Structure 1
């Protein structure tokens, strides 16, 4: 049964780590954060599961009740937000067979393929290399640092200048870099890689602008080998009613790239192997309400759920107030 880790903060502000397996959950004694637990496991040279088992069992916890009470945090953070980096990769998921066939037909008919189409097809061909080999590099983007990470139930805020605030249901890999510069995958989280799709659609070279937004994680961190197939649902609730809902797929069986290939092309850069840093890397999706013509509104609630996670990523949409920006010469 897969281990899930959660971060908890009591009404008195005391933080703790929760370990959950199936419907049972308990406090992990001696650790206030998942990052501290992960660093402990690295220093001892043991798997994270073994580190949890060695810590014994604290009080039992009803994680559904704690979630409803708002006492669960994002499953990873860093006391210095500048040392948590959020990044992602796109054009990584296959989508439906019909969609793939349509893309291939359009590619074959076009006199000149778009850069997006070329990258998608190159990923299909070379995104899952044999062990020990290097595969095709994916599209990559930067989302922000730890200040942009939103936890369970917290609002996802569009900037005042945003043209859109749209959900992207997916998986995110959570990593920590050891003292010797080795990156370790702590686990996977359910995620909403919130983006501005109107800005991106206007000009693909504005992709970088469209991705500089907040992002949300569900409360659970799934530890161990990544599941090959993840199937869930993404929905938008407006005034208590579901206005859009669609299943989404993830996991390597539904992707054109392997996790190992995406991880290699992120951590091959020296600046991403700084000891102690935390990385949250979004693996992409093929399911968007924007593609179905939905325009979100302030007050909409995004809900993303998928087994083996037992709790959803649920966040309302808001818009931030305008902030005057003036650059002064010195």
Structure 2
């Protein structure tokens, strides 16, 4: 028995040495890049596994799982930095990891998140050390004028995405790029809109998209949530959506919405004022723009949170009240 155990141990050791040798050979072997250079963008706050997938999707033929393993074995798992990278022919898995760990970027990145209010975008731009902060000291209205935008209010006017820029680039150029991206996306959504929508202008569709963005718990419900609000507008009903009230409260909002907040009239209180609010309330993404302009075919007028992130949609007030009793009051 002892002899068999020793033989098995020896076989396992041989396999381990062979595997280690094969792994070392792979880590130092030049990658067969499809072109030179290959440009890859790594987003901020990405995990090791996510960095591996982004590099693989970017065109570097390297297994993402092996990348993550190599990064951890070399002690670089926590060192990988966001940015835009270029990889030339002759690059090996080890040199790729080393470059990303050292942050040898050709371009820097800033990610604007769907559903952010503009003030969060501005804070992120202001805090980025690689940008030249030409917007510092400008009011929001002055910033819009500086990038050539005809709108005075910046809310909703910038497309949430990951943006690349060289060190020392003007933050105004980043704003200009994000503004133009939203104009393109909004124009495309408006041109593909469903007939009979209660919007007079693309800007009104943008306002709706911003509400859908903030109201959505499940991505798949965007079109249904848009349908509820579209149906309400068509019938002259109040939108009665909490995110607009919260937006009207502004930075004073403490995380709890109270009855007095719903009764306090502001331009954004859709419990006290009919129609859409005067401006968007967030930076909507592509899916919310699509939902606002092509809502689901539904007669629903109400929805209530089920408590699991999804919503229950109702066509009538009695049905809605029963859903509220079930999902909110536990009756």
What is the TM-score with the length of structure 1 in the denominator? 0.22
More helix by share: 2
Q: Compare CA radii of gyration and give the structure with the larger one.
A: 2
More strand by share: 1
Q: Say which structure, 1 or 2, has more relative contact order (CA 8 Å, 6+ apart).
A: 1
What is the TM-score with the length of structure 2 in the denominator? 0.22
